[in-house]
Amino acid sequence: MSGSSIDEELASLWRGAWATAEREAFAACCGARVHYEDPLTTEPLEGLDALAEHAGRYREAFPDLRLEPSGQPVVQERFACVPWRLAGTHRGALGGLPASGRFVAVEGLHYLELADGRVGRARGFFDLYDVAVQLGLLPARGSLAETALLLVRGFGLRGLRQRA
């Protein structure tokens, strides 16, 4: 697979599957035994049903979820990278966290391994710390609260030295 129209078609199908969280949408771009993981999976998922259920948990937590392209997808032979921006309001429980009502916007990407032009393995990457800050669970980077948290965790006073 190479060529911008094919790259965008795969990326569009992939993002569309996340938008609907429907098994059939994932089946349009993934193999039946697709493997998937991201920062919120406790172990790798296998199969279209498991992937659709996982995407459904995101949809339940963020009913107004939008997954938009944040850059050009890249497909080269058996691998693809699909950059995205997720935006939505946290209105449902996710990963043990109750709804906060806060709006979240996060950049991420999915790294895909292809088999016969379909996704056989996928791994999502995004900054979970940034999401936690936006949800009000952790202190902002560079803040005094973050420095105190790092100190408690045993990382020393590096944050304080940088400000002085």
CATH of the domain at 74: 3.10.450.50
pLDDT at 158 over 70: no
**Residue 36 covered by a domain:** yes
Percent of the chain with pLDDT over 70: 88
**Residue 119 covered by a domain:** yes
Q: What per-residue confidence (pLDDT) applies to 2?
A: 45
**Residue 95 covered by a domain:** yes
Paired tokens of 25: 């949408």
Structural domain harbouring 68: 4-126
**What's the mean per-residue pLDDT of the chain?**
89
The count of domains in the chain is 1
**Residue 137 covered by a domain:** no
Q: What per-residue confidence (pLDDT) applies to 5?
A: 66
What is the 3-state secondary structure of the chain? CCCHHHHHHHHHHHHHHHHHCCHHHHHCCEEEEEEEECCCCCCCEECHHHHHHHHHHHHHHCCCCEEEECCCCEEECCEEEEEEEEEEECCCCECCECCCCCEEEEEEEEEEEEECCEEEEEEEEECHHHHHHHCCCCCCCCCHHHHHHHHHHCCCCHHHHHHC
